Amino acid sequence: MTTVARQLAADLRQHSKAFGRAVLVIDGDCAAGKTTLAAQLAAQMSCNVFHMDDFFLPPALRTEARLQEAGGNIDYDRFLSQVLVPLTENRPFQFDAYSCHTHTSHAVSVSPGPVSIIEGSYALHPRFLKIYEELRAVKVFMRITPEEQIQRIRNRNGEAMLHRFLEEWIPMEKRYRLTYESAWGGVRFIDG
């Protein structure tokens, strides 16, 4: 477990003890280690992990106008209604996890636990910030150098997908961060 993961685990235990539950939001650059950090924490504590990848916008909703919105390529309405609202109510719930690879969804059942982790690009979308404040969420944004990012994406996804990241997804994520970073308040920046 990394030093960052140990510190966040301690913070989550403290929040859980103080408030009866804890929520960690991990946003960040492509390939900065968001999913890896969430997995390290999940291996050390009882928690639910929600992946923003499960909320990418399905093709039927991908209009040109929607994709021009900073952070518009996630289904933020579905994430709000199916995950965040039930989390505030601290009750069992179910959400539809969408796969952008197969263009299918499957139901995921969730029982409230002492810790919830929300990880992935666009996790700090401004539509979620009010609920995060209500949940007293710990919020982090993971950064990575462009050189390391390219190397990790190349190793993880291959050369062909690297070009798609460079031409499409990384510019969208940069625009999202430039547009909304000033609204985040209280976010810890972690260099990967």
Q: pLDDT tens digits, residue range 22-76?
A: 999 999 999 999 999 999 999 999 899 999 999 999 988 989 999 899 999 999 9
C-alpha closest to that of 187 among 69, 25, 42, 38: 25
According to the model, what pLDDT value does residue 1 have?
A: 61
- Asked if 26 and 137 count as a contact pair (C-beta separation under 8 A), the reply is no
Region 83-112: mean pLDDT is 93
Q: Give the pLDDT mean for 84-109.
A: 93
Spatial distance between the Cα atoms of 38 and 145, rounded to a whole number of angstroms: 20
pTM of the model: 0.95
